[in-house]
Amino acid sequence: MAKIIQMKAERREKGGKGAARRLRKEGRVPGVVYGDKQAPEMISVGYVDLLKQVNTGMFESTLVELDIDGQKVRAIARDVQLDPVRDFPIHVDFLRLGKGARIAVEIPVEYVNHEQSPGLKRGGALNIVRHEVELYVSADNIPEKIVADLTGLEIGDVLHISNVELPEGAEPVIQDRDFTLCAITGRVASTEAAGEDEEGDGEDAENTEE
């Protein structure tokens, strides 16, 4: 299961652009913690700590235990605003997670057993439609990934979300259709056609010489 990361945070009393700029000069990033039927709380976190987590690419699907001046708050990042020019974090929002909370989280898809796909062995290509799938999961049970097995897939076969075993208690956010994860597309036919064209060109060339 997904790990829980620890982050130190400090309460801040003042909002506004001026206060935010002062915090950033001090190496901190302003943020807000909201949700769980409690009032929003203004905080700040260390820039280096936040950037490290953002760079993992998994920050918004990982549980965070915030230590806010000694008070432990379980949360998950819901929005990280980046500077439009220099692309570094300038603000972060956290959602408090109460006991038994269910949340929507983007979960990575791992495609396995490429060598067991006859279609890929014959020269087909794996066309990945979704690298992540948004799932409703328990905040206590966030999976690190879901696994899509390519075993037995032929050229033209399509793998849907219904073909994948989801973690216990998880369900797709999209409920109105059996959406596609990937497909095995054909390159064999086009290769054969190209070979036939080359043979034909050769014959024409010989006839021309005669």
Summarised one tens digit per residue, pLDDT across range 74-107 is 999 999 999 999 889 999 999 999 888 899 999 9
| DSSP code, position 110 | E
Which has more confidence, 100 or 115? 115
Question: Exposure of 153 by Cβ count < 10 A (0-12 exposed, 13-18 middle, 19+ buried)?
Answer: buried
Q: Where are the domains of the chain?
A: 4-98, 105-192
The tokens describing 199, both together, are 């043979």
Q: How far is CA 70 from the centre of its chain?
A: 31
Would you identify the CATH topology of the domain 105-192?
A: RNA Polymerase Alpha Subunit; Chain A, domain 2 (2.170.120)
**Confidence check: pLDDT of 194 > 90:** no
CA-atom Rg of the chain in angstroms: 25
- What is the value of pTM for the model shown? 0.72
Confidence of residue 2 (pLDDT cuts 50, 70, 90): low
Mean pLDDT of 23-52: 94
The more confident residue out of 139 and 114 is: 114
Beta strand spans in 83-131 (E): 89-96, 102-112, 125-128
Q: Which CATH superfamily is domain 4-98 in?
A: Ribosomal Protein L25; Chain P (2.40.240.10)
The 102-112 sheet, strands edge to edge:
146-149, 102-112, 132-138, 171-172
* Distances in whole angstroms, Cα of residue 184 to Cα of each of 51, 58, 93, 111, 130: 37, 27, 39, 12, 14
Can you give the pLDDT at residue 197? 44
